[in-house]
Structure 1
């Protein structure tokens, strides 16, 4: 507080140990701390600008340097859109790199002042210790000086924080008034627009920019009482049945007629009623209604203009394009892969009957237990034909699509899950030496050194004739088993020569100490083993694998976090209506990965700045 600070300053200034030389050192120390605080203030101002989406003007000058291309291909809108989006991506990435660079400069300056301060303080110590017989008094004086300087700088930092609040208001006002901001390319993640012009207004676009994981705030608060009561009833039934089933099974085995279930049911219902019907503030009601209105207007725009909105294959953002052109991409996928055949009838009832008949036969012959039978038996009331959808690969030329099959209510889903749960542990145990779980497991290892897939797409019904359904839980395990057999020869060869071999699904990482020509011969030979397995390989002393960059520095392994060029620095926005622990987990997980993957401190620092900027981009 001010009184103790004044008393401390008086103690220092009236001390008999003080002289002019010592005063100069103290003033120099204070000046260094003040300059350091000024640099910190500038850094906070830049971070505030990033958070408010209003960068300094020198960042926007980059758009003038990489100006829009005047030439547009005649009668080729798709090419024009592609060129526009490439320019956007180049400028956006350049701005992000410069922001990381600027933050690095600020941190270096702050560290330099910190080092100077520590050096000067070390020089100050002999003046007190050598010129005073009482070491205790000298040590106390040094402690008082340090406390005085720290108090002074802490006050300065508090003032800076107060000024930042005002600065933030000014920045937001300037952004509202600025005409150039509306057209400026920002650094935050935005939807991929596969159209010549943007059909959405500013509010709609900002809402879409919040991304697929965003949850509207207080959605239930603006629903009718009937809708709320229906939702409460459904949630109560769902939660209660899960808890009851869990507690009545092994190892708890609590009887269903136990009074504790009735008590729990009442408590759960009271909690849900309180959660749903507790009034929210008028401001929160306005925000909820406004967001619902914006979402409704987006849906109307999409319907009116015959657009399609999808989640991108990589990048965790929305893709918005013409529904007709997207349908053509899907048709191109079917014709190019030649892995599907269109059916003239719907085999759903036939497949469901086969599944039920098979399970009844197995149970009747006592080949499966009752609990296994119940786990695999499909629910007739909820079963439906699997649905197909496509995610656009916006990071690739021409924006091809990736097929995803939604099998959550398919008749074979429960069997698929049961088999996957049974087979996966066996596979993991047998192939653990060559299986890579994630980037961390790869670093650790190096340091040691269903057949009937029928689904609906649109109004047509297809059957997959090659491969497995991406979306089925069993497909991954079957693919791993297939690849384990396929890789047997190369694993044996790598083991003989003492080299490393690891695989994550269909991504392979291996070391090699012979000539590159020999390696290419081996890989070209591997590509002849199976008609549907073709390796696209990269050879070098520094390569990315999954989310880790690995470098061989003359026999020393260097590692760092790797971000794919197509990956956006996106996380769930802080204003999303997620449980608050989700955001804590995002930060902790990102920092933990940076620590585990970074072999040198500089690599960790770069990733730490990347994480900070990512959080600023997403509010």
Structure 2
């Protein structure tokens, strides 16, 4: 069997092998939840509520999980129930369990696992699995890391010195009552390690360049990045151009249609920021966040904009990572992979677009943005739109745009936006590289998970497709894709219509 071809069918796939260690841990967590519920059942709710409101608790990600487990013997009925459930489940493993992988498929998996000449990564978009020669993968990573505009190689591991800088900033924050000592202690990563660099191949772009990602789990700035994101993410939804997701975009399109027909000669346009994350200057990005914090929160709110911006600077300037036995520092922009990056980029683009739109005499009728993807409706003619795009590409030294203009239709996110009779119609948009690799029916997932897939995907189509004809086409396409993923015909009954 061709092992490379086989790996494409295993997106999110679970086989039927039972991991006794995981099973035992799951049973322990289950029994502990039950014992905790019983232990705290008679607690005085009024006293608990009073205590909870006397001081705001730290964010959930800063709270260290408790290891307390009530003793057995408190409730004999509960003990009997837990023992019975555990015995039944552990006995289940002794029954015959048939593998959902054939022998040749198991052999293919072993070949893939043991072959160090290939590297397997998910594609940046489209759900594909990319099998690359390892030499090509390393070559693309090295090509990007050799760009001295963004990266610098280090001669030693700076983990300890970076951790010390973070500790000093936290100690100062505690001293100035920006944060409590409890939160300050929780912001430090125990036993930190450098980030890890990898790429996701962009199969939808010529030459298949890689999108650079820096995995930040366990790095010194991991928790302060979560802390910054926690305090800034609500500011993003205050931006006039904010689009949360496909469904939010569709709601906004519906509101536009409710205002009546668009003017004749209306143009649809999308713009995309080229490599946004790596092209945000540190000072400009931090200043944009400071202004957003000052304008979007009540005066005197703690932690202050100054303290949050101090943490932002640490996240940006201490962004070091390893790749192929070398240690690097990212010197420009923010890394995709740190928690605060999308919020930081959104706020920066909010500041840029406010100045950009204010600096051009003609304004778009509609300007909506999802991070680095922009949708606009233009009513001043093509020449002025092209002049506006040219102006946008000279407005900032590092922020550049690609664009797509049409009087008929443009894709935005997963939606094809069409202008017909001066109203906007919507349909599903899929990139040519989309593989529709939905979860395979034979995967050892719970039955309710597999059964819900056709309905949830179909319901998404109901919301995206604005006409019955478009919906019928897309539902037929969906059935075809799900059949290829092993779904039985009786699981593909989709009696959905437009409301």
TM over 0.5: yes
Q: Deviations over 1:495-528 (max 9, x none)?
A: 9857111000000111111110111111111111
Task: Tell me which residue corresponds to 2:424.
Answer: 557
Task: Tell me which residue corresponds to 1:108.
Answer: none
Structure-to-structure mapping, 1:396-411, within 5 angstroms: 396-411=205-220
Mapped contact 1:491–1:501 kept (Cα < 8 A): no
Q: Tell me the distance in 2 between the aligned counterparts of 1:261 and 1:557.
A: 66
Q: How much has 1:491 moved relative to structure 2?
A: 4.3
Mapped contact 1:218–1:288 kept (Cα < 8 A): no
Mapped contact 2:236–2:242 kept (Cα < 8 A): no
Higher fraction of helix? 1
Mapped contact 2:150–2:330 kept (Cα < 8 A): yes
Mapped contact 2:100–2:443 kept (Cα < 8 A): no
1:599 has 2:466 as partner: yes
Q: Who wins on radius of gyration, i.e. which is larger?
A: 1
Q: How much has 1:466 moved relative to structure 2?
A: 1.4
**Scaled by the length of structure 1, what TM-score is found?**
0.59
Task: Tell me which residue corresponds to 2:252.
Answer: 445
SS in 2 for 1:502: strand
Mapped contact 1:446–1:500 kept (Cα < 8 A): no
Task: Tell me which residue corresponds to 1:425.
Answer: 234
Structure-to-structure mapping, 1:215-614, within 5 angstroms: 215-220=14-19, 228-229=20-21, 232-233=24-25, 236=28, 240=32, 271=85, 274-279=88-93, 281-282=95-96, 284=98, 287=101, 292-300=106-114, 302-303=115-116, 306-336=117-147, 338-380=149-191, 383-428=192-237, 430-431=238-239, 433-449=240-256, 450-451=315-316, 452-492=318-358, 499-541=365-407, 542-614=409-481
Q: Tell me the distance in 2 between the aligned counterparts of 1:520 and 1:580.
A: 52
Mapped contact 1:434–1:503 kept (Cα < 8 A): yes
Q: Tell me the distance in 2 between the aligned counterparts of 1:400 and 1:597.
A: 30
Higher fraction of strand? 2
**Scaled by the length of structure 2, what TM-score is found?**
0.72
Q: Tell me the distance in 2 between the aligned counterparts of 1:539 and 1:239.
A: 59
Q: Tell me the distance in 2 between the aligned counterparts of 1:334 and 1:239.
A: 49
CA 523–497 in structure 1, closer or farther in 2 if over 3 Å, else same: closer
Structure-to-structure mapping, 1:106-117, within 5 angstroms: none
Mapped contact 2:461–2:474 kept (Cα < 8 A): yes
SS in 2 for 1:596: helix
Q: Tell me the distance in 2 between the aligned counterparts of 1:469 and 1:482.
A: 14
Q: How much has 1:552 moved relative to structure 2?
A: 1.0
Q: Tell me the distance in 2 between the aligned counterparts of 1:567 and 1:271.
A: 43
Q: How much has 1:212 moved relative to structure 2?
A: 3.1
Gaps of 5+ in 2: 53-65, 257-314, 487-499
Relative contact order, CA 8 A, sep 6+: which one is greater? Answer: 2
Q: Tell me the distance in 1 between the aligned counterparts of 2:185 and 2:91.
A: 38
SS in 2 for 1:409: coil
Task: Tell me which residue corresponds to 1:223.
Answer: none
Q: How much has 1:320 moved relative to structure 2?
A: 1.6
Task: Tell me which residue corresponds to 1:225.
Answer: none
How many residue pairs end up in the alignment?
404
Task: Tell me which residue corresponds to 2:10.
Answer: 211
Structure-to-structure mapping, 1:154-193, within 5 angstroms: none
Mapped contact 2:440–2:485 kept (Cα < 8 A): yes
